[in-house]
A and B are shown apart, each in its own frame.
Chain A
Amino acid sequence: MLEYSTWSRRVVDLAGALSRLEAEAEAAGIAPQVTAAWHANLHQKLVPQAVDAPYLIVAVAGGANMGKSTMFNHLVGFPASRVHHNAAETKHPVCMLPRGFTDRHDLAKVFPGFTLQPWKSEDDAVAEGHPDGLVYREDPTGSQPENLVLLDTPDVDAALPNNWKLAEAITHAADVLIALLTQQKYNDEKIRRFFRIAAEADKAVLAVVNLIDWPDDRDHCRGWLDTFRKGTGAEPLHAYAVPRDRAAVRDNRLTFHPLSPRATDPRKDLAELQFAEIKIRSLRGSLRQALDPDEGIPAYLRDLEKRADDNRQARAVIHQKVQVKIDLPRPPGHIVGDEIWRWLEPRRTWFDRKVHGAYGALGRTVAKWLPGSVEPAEDEARFLAEEKTQLNKALEAVYHDLEQVHRVGSPALRQELQPLIAGDQRRRAFEELQRRLAAAPLATEAYRRAIATRLEAFEAEHPTMMRAIEWGLVATAIARPAVTIGMFGAADMAAGPLFDAGGHAIGQVFFDVAAGSALTAGGEGAFARISGPARALIGDLFAAFYRERAELLAKVIDDCVVGRHLDRIERLADLGQGQDFQTAYKLAAELSRELAALDEPALEAAAAEG
């Protein structure tokens, strides 16, 4: 026998891990399988009843207008659930608890997922109300056995899907089903399927053939029950026939004709059931159904794993395909130059500053009249216009790539990308890019700090060289009118550092900043003699500038284009590796193995018998 305490612990752990996993999956866009049989088995039955449940839940189940409520009223002994001549009127399960049940048990834990409503009148069951409502009452007569919980359920076949949902959910919690059958409906596909699922979960079944013409139909009843047995696989413990009798219904005194050898009256027979055996069988049956390899928890886990795989693949594809290469235009020379001068300012000698100032003014005046020279403002405008063009084109390229990925991607990925490449989203992204470009100053505070840091590091590394530059400035102060520092070493940038500008783990967009090719501004090139480290320094300073600009696009792409969705892809991709997934997987596998080991001797015995 499956050790009660060891596996109940693990079932609770499994349910916890699965709940967390489902929450994670839901956050990433996978709807939880609340309607699946395993879900109901696990949460409605195994978790609430595995630890401590010395009671049996008996549910009256069947199709619309078959007399479920009538049967229920008979079982509880008074009209507790309204009987209506129209079909599909019972919209909420009605639960009759033995006296003192609520003192011993927490009802919210016995029926998780239901909105519990105390019984007020027999009309509660037919009232429109909460879609998850369950009406409960403690047995007022005191005649109900203390370990028996009785349930009336909505129909399983009429045109109100919420009724089926409730009926199925509550039935999963039950140990014993009272199966209502009529000559019209006993072999309906919906009814058959409903009881087949219950039979597969090893629930005990009492069959009641209702609305018959007694005794004309006596012989038919046996045939109908045989068909029911064959169609559902259920083996009713007892079977009864109930004649059609409106007066009896009204007075709540049904006549039961036993159709099986030891059957008397369901009320009496229920009280005499072998509680422990039925309980364990139904729990084990529920566990078996929950762990069904094709439809149960293993299938769900497999499904999750597959989604995770898909998304991992999607992540790889996006990573691979969505890359933009931007040829940022030649930066305005004075931007970098000015910043370097600004940094040098406090370090310069008075003489140097004065001479440079004077020559600088002269140089600027002269430069204005030189052919091919450009004003700083004009240079900036040109840079901004070209940069805007380039960034717009880059964004176009990103969208083009995304569309390619969308076209060839898996269905899950396509669904994920669909809203991303819609027109409205594109417009937002472009507008955001224009807005941010307009708002971004050319040289930001961050850039200034980057330059300062870099220069200071350089000074610390090569103090002599910095001294030389400073002295060189003094020296050239006399020699040059227009040499500016900003332009030297530009050719080094041709190699162009490949850097990532995005902060996002997956939204990394690589910018191959091939800047150097365009960097020929200024024209002086007087510092060509400067040795390696200094050239690297200048290269870095420009790269820092470009990084600033490229980051702007990367941020737009991250914020407006793909970010949030990639987040989901990322989360889904990692789902299969999480702790909860591993736990659930391990527990499900263990329990399945043990269950199979238990079933084996039983099967062998059955084989030996047959």
Chain B
Amino acid sequence: MAERFTKADWEREHLLAGFDRLHDRLRAWAKSAPAWPPYDEAKGLVERLDPRLRVPEIDLDRALVVGFLGGSGTGKSTLFNALLGRRVSRAGKEFRPMTRRAVVACHPDVDPAFLGLDEDALEIHRLNIPLLEQMILIDCPDPDTQDPEDGEGGGRHLDILRSVLPHCDVMVHTVTSQKYKSHVVGQEVRRNAPGRQILFVQTHASIDHDNRPDLRRYLDTLGLRVPEIYRLDAAEAQAKQDAGQPVDAEFARFRDLLEHELASRARHRIRRANLLGLYGWLLSAIRGPVDAGLEAVAKLEGALDQERARMAAKIAAKMSERIDANRRLWRSRVLRQLNQTWGAGPLAFLIGLWSATGSLLRSLILLRARTPTQAILAGGWTAVSLVGEKWRESRAAAALTAEADLGLTEGDLAHARTILQGYLNDAQIRPSPSDDGGDFSAEQLATVAVEVYRRLDAEINEVVEKRVARRAGRGVHVVFEALFALLPAWLVLHMAKNFFYDHMIQGESLLGLDFVFQAAFWCLLWGVAVGGLLLSRLNRGLDHDLKAVVDRLAHAPLLDALCRDASDACLAVRTHSEALAALERDLADLERRVGGVLDLGLGALRVESPPELAAPAANPIPAKTPIAAG
């Protein structure tokens, strides 16, 4: 390659890469969309528009295609002829409709085959004039004389119009005083506006009133932005050209715009703006139903949260009840923990003894423990894991136990399930059921219950450990051991004095065995008193702490697993909608780099407000068939 790669080339390549990326990402987005009706709709749209969205098209050096659209008798053909400077398309008022086929005017060098139009539908005129060097003009049939319902008589010129317009880069919309508010024509313009620029022209300037202010208001209600409306008289211009006189200023300005501005200088810019306009329209067409659908999804999520909260509240209530009813169980657990922490020492020994008997009792209780909560309160996770093992073996039985123990009934599940189903229907979400029996099923609850129990055990353990560590640490241990040792120490002193002084020196009799027994009894009693003091210190407020644990659990996201399928589906929908927002940002970015075409006086569909919102009353076009893509 001999040529150098200039800065402009770099910019161009960069821009094209941006378009490529946008296209790829849009396709990838559509392809990976989760099953949800608004996304399915979006998929269909992207699929339909794909041929027009593909990037290489926009920078082809092909001629700019300008189509004429307007009501019958508004002077499309006259303007077409006047621009060409010769009578090419038959114009006049003898018949309506006059133009029944698409009349294409192009340069002999240009091959209009890329339009892909049917031979019957058009007549081609090859003219060697400067205007056509960079441009193809197409005079189209009118949209307002054919009855879409009967279709006979007038031929199919409406169909021809609709097959031609998708190929146009720019539409010239001609109106007259009589027809500028025509409903049928307005709808046709709206239908074909996405992805192309529009030039608005009021013709018959010499005989009609100037209706441009009213026209501008009307076009605004159609959701079109209108920088400029030309007002000219093509018949007069034609006559003047025939007579060899100069045409009037407005017509000359219009012709100039087409020939010099649009066709040669701004051609690429227009194509890019068209493509961006099309993307913008497409994304807003996708966005509308998605946003509407997301409202229902948000409602579904709210309902899920509400149902979970309802269940969590029930579970919490049940567990607090259990904590109140099983004081002995959790107290014995504190004792055991204390025993493990303290290790050696006389009081520790005594408490160990106490705990051992307690354990024996506890194992008896465990045998009686009918529910996992009781088991946890008493013995901890090992006990529960045994239950869990069993649950996994037979889910149905486990579910029953879990329901009863968690304070939930099958009725509560049925309640939640039914409401969830209703909101799922509303949001049109069909979650793929996982193998655990579906949302709010008894099986799912059993799985959740095991998790709840595991957490409950861990939390209780932590509470007990912390409490023992804080209220019965080393210092407290020493103090209590010392306190406990006071009595035995004094007794030993007393016995030593009795033996060494009273007996050996004074010759008095030794203390009898009954003293030893009595001393042992009082020591034990002293130990119980000290131990009791210690335990009451330890246990004070423990029920409060345990209830706080239950409360924490009730607010923990433990129950999220209860309707995982639905919330996963919601999340997928949401995530994908955020991906759409990212696409919109990409598009905005690209738009900033390309720049607009407003300076050229070209109108187009307003992108910033979705067309559905802009013209709700006059919009019978269903979103599914927004344009007749070629």
A interface residues with partner B (beta carbon < 8 Å): 63-66, 85-88, 157-161, 182-190, 192-193, 211, 217, 220, 223-224, 227, 231, 244, 385, 388-393, 395-396, 399-400, 403, 421-427, 430, 434
Contacts and interface: CB of A to CB of B under 8 A. Distances in A.
B284 interface: no
A66 B178 contact: yes
Contact of B414 (A87, A188, A393, A421): A393
Given A185-B178, A189-B146, 13 more contacts: A85-B177, A87-B177, A87-B179, A87-B181, A158-B183, A184-B179, A188-B96, A188-B145, A189-B145, A190-B183, A223-B94, A396-B414, A423-B422
B441 to A, nearest CB: 12
Contacts of B250: none
Interface of B: 71-74, 93-97, 144-148, 153, 176-184, 186, 207, 209, 211, 214, 218, 221, 299-300, 303, 409-412, 414-415, 417-426, 617-618
B277 to A, nearest CB: 23
Contact of A403 (B184, B214, B425): B425
Q: Which of B179, B182, B425 has the most CB of A within 10 A?
A: B182
19 contacts: A85-B209, A87-B177, A87-B181, A158-B181, A161-B618, A183-B96, A185-B72, A190-B144, A192-B147, A227-B95, A389-B411, A390-B411, A396-B418, A399-B418, A422-B422, A423-B419, A424-B299, A427-B419, A430-B415
A190 B184 contact: yes
A378 B468 CA distance: 39
A423 B426 contact: yes
Nearest to B176: A184
A419 to B, nearest CB: 10
A189 B184 contact: yes
A157 B422 contact: no
Contacts of A87: 177-181, 211, 214
Contact of B211 (A86, A188, A396, A421): A86
A65 B177 CA distance: 7
A189 B183 contact: no
A159 B186 contact: yes
A185 B415 CA distance: 64
Nearest to A64: B181
Nearest to A223: B94
B414 A392 contact: yes
A158 B185 CA distance: 9
Nearest to B142: A188
A244 B424 CA distance: 65
B594 to A, nearest CB: 33
Nearest to A66: B178
Contacts of A385: 409
Nearest to A406: B425
B96 A193 contact: no
Contacts of A422: 422-423, 425-426
Given A85-B209, A86-B214, A392-B415, A187 B177 contact: no
A430 B182 contact: no
B422 A427 contact: yes
Nearest to B403: A389
Contacts of A403: 421, 425
Contacts of B180: 87
Given A87-B177, A430-B415, A188 B218 contact: no
B211 A159 contact: no
A295 to B, nearest CB: 13
Contacts of B94: 220, 223
B308 to A, nearest CB: 14
Contact of A185 (B73, B218, B414): B73
A161 B418 contact: no
A317 B306 CA distance: 34
A217 B186 contact: no
A331 to B, nearest CB: 17
Given A88-B181, A157-B182, A187-B72, A421 B422 contact: yes
Given A385-B409, A395-B418, A184 B72 contact: yes
A309 B179 CA distance: 46
B183 A157 contact: yes
Contacts of A393: 410-411, 414
A185 B142 CA distance: 12
Contacts of A227: 95-96
Contacts of B184: 157, 188-190
Contacts of A220: 93-94
A227 to B, nearest CB: 7
Contacts of A421: 422, 425
A426 B148 CA distance: 45
Contact of A182 (B178, B414, B419, B424): B178
- Nearest 10 A/B pairs, CB to CB: A423-B423, A392-B411, A184-B73, A389-B411, A423-B422, A85-B209, A187-B96, A426-B422, A396-B414, A158-B181
Nearest to B146: A189
A430 B93 contact: no
Nearest to B209: A85
A55 B494 CA distance: 139
A224 B422 CA distance: 61
Contacts of B300: 423
**Among B218, B303, B411, which residue has the most Cβ atoms of chain A within 10 A?**
B411
A227 B183 CA distance: 22
A395 B410 CA distance: 12
Contact of B178 (A159, A184, A396): A184
A427 B211 CA distance: 57
Nearest to B93: A183
A188 B148 CA distance: 12
Contacts of B618: 159, 161
A44 to B, nearest CB: 23
Nearest to B73: A184
Contacts of A185: 72-73, 178-179
A157 B618 CA distance: 13
A430 B207 contact: no
A289 B246 CA distance: 57
Contacts of A182: 178
Which of B72, B74, B412 has the most chain A CB atoms inside 10 A of its CB? B72
B218 A159 contact: yes
A399 B409 contact: no
A430 B416 CA distance: 9
Nearest to A62: B178
Nearest to B222: A159
A420 to B, nearest CB: 9
B124 to A, nearest CB: 27
Nearest to B96: A187
B181 A159 contact: yes
A424 B427 CA distance: 12
Contacts of B183: 157-159, 161, 190
